[in-house]
Amino acid sequence: MNNERIPATQLARAAGLRIEKEQEQQLEYHLRDLHEHFERVRLLSMSPCDELPALDVKDSFSAFYISHADRNGLLKLFNGIHRGYISVPRML
């Protein structure tokens, strides 16, 4: 991955939207503006001891995925468990 942004039209399609021609320029400008936040996160160097938190149901993501378990949500849930982001024993 590099610093390149995904074009607005492509993002819109992923988000189930369509961009009208006249809105494209303004939207690109706004997305470029917001992309600065994303770049800040991307370039952040975390300490090796900053692990992803093991979360339980009362926390966040596990509850989030359970309550919104559509196909993508379920995939991410299993992905999260596989990578150790979500603590299964605590979740159960």
Q: How far apart are the first and last CA of the chain?
A: 35
Task: Kindly tell me which residue out of 21, 22, 27, 77 binds another protein, with binding defined by CB under 8 A.
Answer: 27
Task: Kindly tell me which residue out of 21, 22, 46, 89 binds another protein, with binding defined by CB under 8 A.
Answer: 46
CA distance 18 to 46: 37
Q: Per CB under 8 A, which of residues 52..91 are in contact with another protein?
A: 52-53, 57-61, 63-64, 66-68, 70, 72-73, 85
Interaction of residue 15 with another protein, rule CB under 8 A: yes
CA distance 8 to 34: 12
The region, left, alpha or beta by phi > 0 then psi within -120 to 50, assigned to residue 16 is left
**Residue 54 buriedness (CB in 10 A; 0-12 / 13-18 / 19+):** middle
Interaction of residue 92 with another protein, rule CB under 8 A: no
Interface with another protein (CB under 8 A): 1, 5-6, 8, 11-12, 14-18, 20, 27, 30-31, 33-34, 36-38, 40-42, 44, 46-47, 50-53, 57-61, 63-64, 66-68, 70, 72-73, 85
